[in-house]
Amino acid sequence: MLNVHEEWQEDIATAYEALDPSYRAFLETGRFIPARERIFNAFKTLPKSKLRYILFGQDPYPREESATGHAFIDGAVDTIFSPTGLSKAVNRATSLRNFIKMALVADGRLDPNDLSQGAIASIDTSDLIETIDQLRCNFERNGVLLLNTALIFEDKRASNRHAKAWQPFMRALLARIDSNVELILFGNIAKTIQKIPEAQKFPHRCMEHPYNHTFILNETAHQLFGPMQLLKKI
């Protein structure tokens, strides 16, 4: 379960030990999403030496096929675009759909006054990424760690409880990260990270969760993610 990039191994082992013993036992034997071996996937693919941002989402997608261990990277999605605009799989994933639209607006490719499928279908996507895994790679190319505030999902009623249970892990983790990293906080559950003493040393930006339609036109999101060119094919 703690199979992560070698640069993170000591940090994740220390942070994991900070969890309440009864919660560790639940993680090792209980039923939840994602699969146990995917919980720490975000720490497998981005080396610590490349870290520039930590993006805190809420908790994993509530579907086994979607929860990858990377915030916002929906494993049920393959292609992003289709001849009619966004693919059906992207349109079903509300947060991802709104994030893609935000990125298109930030890049000047999509008119903020027309966010329709037809408008997206008219965009020349020949220089844009095609798959969800390419989006993950572009996040990580910019040094963004795609982390959820709670690394597992049990049911919606338990989301706040799990976010609280993961706080000792997050405290121990943040204590071992340099203060030149920026925190990106999506939604109310992620904003609880601000209250952690170890988070005080980091600059941070708070935004509504991309599940909200207003995220698409959020200027803070445009200013932060626009220069990253997350949809650009490399």
- What angle separates helix 9-17 from helix 167-175, to the nearest 10 degrees? 140
Please check whether residue 101 is in contact with residue 212, taking contact to mean a CB–CB distance below 8 angstroms. Answer: no
Residue 224 has pLDDT above 90, yes or no: yes
> Domain-by-domain residue ranges, the chain?
6-228
Q: Binning pLDDT at 50, 70 and 90, where does residue 234 land?
A: confident
* CATH number for region 6-228: 3.40.470
- My answer on whether omega of the bond before 83 falls inside 30° of 0, hence cis, is no
Q: How deeply is 96 buried, as exposed, middle or buried, from its count of CB atoms within 10 A (0-12, 13-18, 19+)?
A: buried
Tokens read off for 71: 């915030």
Query: Average of pLDDT values for 118-142?
Result: 98
Residue with tokens 């095609």: 130
Q: Binning pLDDT at 50, 70 and 90, where does residue 187 land?
A: very high
Please state the pTM of the whole predicted model: 0.96
pLDDT (0 to 100) of residue 156 = 84
Please check whether residue 176 is in contact with residue 11, taking contact to mean a CB–CB distance below 8 angstroms. Answer: yes
Q: Read off the pLDDT of residues 31-62 as tens digits, 9 standing for 90 and up.
A: 999 999 999 999 999 999 999 999 999 999 99
Q: How far apart are CA 149 and CA 202, in angstroms?
A: 16
pLDDT (0 to 100) of residue 32 = 97
Mean of per-residue pLDDT scores for the chain:
97
